[in-house]
Structure formats: C-alpha cells, structure tokens
Amino acid sequence: MTDHGAVGPSSMSGPVGGAPQRLRGGVLGMADIAAATMANVGPAMSFFFGFAFLGTAAGIASPLTIVAAGVAVALLGNTLAQFSRAHPSAGSFITFVGKTFGPVSAVTTALLAGLGYIIAMASVIAISGGFVQITLSHYTGVDLPWIIWTLLLTGLSVVLMLRGVVVSTKWAGYFFGVEMLVLVVVSIAALVKHHGSLSADPFLPGHIHHGLSGLAAGFPLAVYLFIGWENSAALAEETQDPRRNVGRAVFLSVAIMTVSYILFSYATVTAFDNDMARLGEARIPFIDVAHDTLGALAFVAYVGGLTSTLGVLISGINSQARLVFNAGREGLLPSFFGYVHPTRRTPNNAIVTFAVTALLIIGGWGLGHLLGSGSGSMNPVVFFTESSSLGAILILLVYLASNVALPLYYRRYRPQEFRTVRHLVLPAIGALAILVPLYYLAKPGQPAPYNWFPYAALAILLLAVGYAALLVRRDPTLAERVGSIVADVD
C-alpha cells in the first residue's frame, strides 16, 4: 500500500537538516499496545476518583451512562483506526488533522494536544502521590506530604521510559494486570455478598436521575473514564504492522474497558444497596466496597490503585510525549523535542520536558491555592478533578477536529476507499457525541474554578492559531513536512 504524500526516512529532511530522528520500529506487538492503552486508561484510578461524581449525576442507572459512553468512544475509535490504517504516525491526531486541513491546523493541534495532555497528566501525577499518602495514612498513620511521593514516583516512571519503549510498556502492562485482577475480585465479591440487592434497575432508563438531563450530565463523566483510549496510535511507529494493529488495539481496549466499567459500576451500586446519596458522600466508593466485602484483605484495593496510577504515569507520558516528539521533528514545535537517544531510540527530550512541565503546572496550581482567597494546601483529589477537566476541554477539541477531518481526508486522498458509513456517518455521530461533554464542560453557571476553564481553553486556542499562522508564514516548507514521516512505507 502506498501512502499519498508520505516519504521514507531516507528521502525526508528533518526540520534542521539531515535525516529525521526515528523511533525503534516494529518492537511492539498488538497485545503490547493494547495493554499500554488500557494501562493509560487506568481503570482503577479513573473509577476510584470518578465514579462518585458519575453516580451523583446519573443516579442508580449510572452503569447505563457507561454503556452510552462506551459506544461514543467506539465511534471515536473508528476515526482513529481509519486514519491509522491510511497514515500511521507517532503524531496521531496532529498528523491526521494537519494532513487534512494544512500546516496551520497541524501546529494548532500540536499545541492543543500537547498542552491538553500535559494538563490532564498533571492530574495523574498529583494523584499518584496523593494515593500513596492516603494508603500510608490509613494503614500506618504516617502522613508525609503527597508531593514527596509524587516526585519519587514520577522520577521512577521517567527512568523506566528512558530505558526504552519495550521495557516501559511491559511494566505498564504488568501494573494494568494487577489492577484489573483486584477490580474484578472485589466486584465479584461485592456481588456475591450483596446478592439480595441484585436487580436490573441500574440498566433501566427510568432509573436515571432526572431522566435525559441526568443521562446528559453523567455522560461526560462516563466519557472521562475512557480518556487514554487513543494511546496506541502514538505508538504506531514502534508497532508491528501498525496499519492493522493500531485499530485492533483501539477496539479491543474500548470493548474490554466498557465491559469492565459496567461490572465495576454495577457492583458498586449494588454494594451500596442502590443508595446513591450514601455513595456520593463516599471519598472513594470502591475502597469502601472493598472494606465491606474483603475486610482486612481490602489492602489489595489500595495496591490496585497504586499500580493503576503507575501504569497511567508510564503509558500516558510514553504515548503523549511521542506526539510532542513527532511535532518537534517535523518542525511544528521546536526541534529540541525531535531528539531521540542514539541507542535506545527513545524521545528523551520530549519525555523529560513533558514530565517537568506537568510538575510545574502542579506547583503553579498549588501556589494559586496558597495565595488565593481560599488559602491553604492543595488537595490532590480535588486537583485531579480540576486539572483533568481543563485538560479534557482541549483534548475533546482535538477529538472533534479529527472526526470532522476523517471524511474530508478520505475524499481528498483516498476517494477509491471512501465508504459512506465508515468515513462519513460514524465520524459525524462521533462529532455530535463529543459536543455533549464539551457543552457540559463549558456551560455557564459552574462553580470556580470550572467557570473560567472555558475562557482559558478559548485563550489557548486563539494563541495557538496565532502562533501557528506566524510559524507557517515564516516557514512555507512546513506544509510539506506535516505527516511526512509514517510508521511504515510499503
């Protein structure tokens, strides 16, 4: 298969001259990138800190909102799979949007995606230390500041990533295996113990809090549980047969996560005897379920949470830093980010910069708490919700642009392969599905700091477009470099 507009590594000059930096190709199989994708989703971490909000918004039938979210994410997965089949690239969404709409959109997407993922990952980095603090405080009474554990875990994760993508991906997969085992064991134990409360109510539309408005309010919270589903696309350059395996990994990951979240949510609602008020008041509902069902063995739930945060740290930074790396080597961002280690072929500069910037965001946010009207130390659990919400707005804009781009890309570059349902209808429905969480994130009347997030996102978007237009004007050759490095050329 020949990719329109793609060139091989020997015929392409990097942004500063010479052959472009390449990652180590073909070292990951489909199972590797699927495991890394699910580790990036971080089901334990996401469910621990997200389900109380979801349950409060959607009520007893909150598992039904997860079904709807799984369908919506699968629609987005179709867009990613179709683009990756045509043009597999470590640039992922940046490449896909840029190849369709031109260099200004590519640079804009690079900035939105890069900053959005960094802000979102800052929430994960913070909660990693926060969860260690919660665990140690509960079992030992030791209450060291969470930021110490955050710095330690982030440093260890970065070291693993710098050692090579195979090593770090394997570790992320191991951590994911542990958290999934814990989640499934606790869920089954809860269903067995509370078998008298089993019912079909959590799957009946009539039990959604406030009907359709409750479903709409809970839907974006359910979608957040899946953030990270796109991980495999950024690993395309290092994947065997990426045109085929990236799409397979996406759909497999989304399917497994959907079924798993349905099990976890149903077990949690059942264990709380359908009392959503009590569930909403719980700090971490699933931990309460573990204590209720396993007693002293509830410690395994804490282990699952810890391994989940580590898995997300490794897999998330690994994949998202590769978007920054690819943008650097194509000249969309400073060429500094386009460097790879000469032996391990890892994008060291992008990885380290990604992690350090996320830590600086945490520090700045914490300083704002100390100097703000509600002065005091920053709660990592609260920061997790705040930071992930702001990052999600930017990421959802990138998702939206990709869905709009897919039919245009296939009509322009691959008209003979264009299929109405696959390349037009499904991405159109996916785009509509994106607008729901975007609306609820941007709607007026939200409490601080959520009320200023839409304005911050708009300012970032306008600055990104302005910078992109200036960069393209200064470097007209940028249009030729967007998406010029594909994962396989045959």
What pLDDT is attached to residue 19?
61
Q: What percent of the chain is modeled with pLDDT above 90?
A: 73
Q: What is the dihedral of CA 10, 11, 17, 18, to 10 degrees?
A: 20
Task: Write the CA distances from 169 to 26, 31, 93, 161, 245, integer angstroms.
Answer: 14, 11, 21, 8, 16
As a whole number of Å, the end-to-end CA separation of the chain is 6
More reliable by pLDDT, 378 or 273: 273
With 0-12 / 13-18 / 19 or more C-beta atoms within 10 angstroms meaning exposed / middle / buried, residue 291 is middle
Give 15's pLDDT tier (boundaries 50, 70, 90). Answer: very low
Each residue's pLDDT tens digit, 172-207: 999 999 999 999 999 999 999 999 999 999 999 999
Q: Which two tokens stand for residue 120?
A: 């979102």
When the pLDDT of each residue in the chain is averaged and rounded to a whole number, the result is: 90
Each residue's pLDDT tens digit, 95-114: 899 999 999 999 999 999 99
Q: 485 - beta bridge partners?
A: 7
Q: How far apart are CA 96 and CA 113, in angstroms?
A: 12
Task: Write the CA distances from 350 to 32, 317, 339, 346, 432, integer angstroms.
Answer: 22, 9, 8, 9, 33
Q: How far apart are CA 289 and CA 272, in angstroms?
A: 8
Distance, CA of 399 to chain centre: 11
What pLDDT is attached to residue 371?
74
Give 479's pLDDT tier (boundaries 50, 70, 90). Answer: confident
- Is residue 280 within 8 A of residue 11, CB to CB? The reply is no
Q: Which range among 14-18, 124-128, 436-440 has the greatest average pLDDT? A: 124-128
DSSP assignment of 427-475 equals: HHHHHHHHHHHHHHHH-SSPPTTGGGHHHHHHHHHHHHHHHHHHHHHH-
Out of 127-131, 394-398, 479-483, pick the least confident.
479-483
What pLDDT is attached to residue 90?
84
Give 7's pLDDT tier (boundaries 50, 70, 90). Answer: very low
Residue whose tokens read 């004007």: 473
SS3 485: strand
Instruction: Decide if pLDDT at 463 tops 80.
Output: yes
Q: The pTM is what?
A: 0.89
| Residue 59 backbone zone (phi > 0: left; psi -120 to 50: alpha; other: beta) | left
What pLDDT is attached to residue 14?
41
Q: Which range among 7-11, 210-214, 215-219, 306-310 has the greatest average pLDDT? A: 306-310
What pLDDT is attached to residue 194?
95
Each residue's pLDDT tens digit, 379-418: 898 898 889 989 999 999 999 999 999 999 999 999 999 9
Alpha helices in 330-452 (DSSP H): 348-371, 380-413, 420, 426-442
Instruction: Decide if pLDDT at 483 tops 80.
Output: no
- Is residue 262 within 8 A of residue 66, CB to CB? The reply is yes
Q: 239 - beta bridge partners?
A: 28
Residue whose tokens read 């945060």: 309
Instruction: Decide if pLDDT at 367 tops 60.
Output: yes
Residue whose tokens read 């009946």: 204
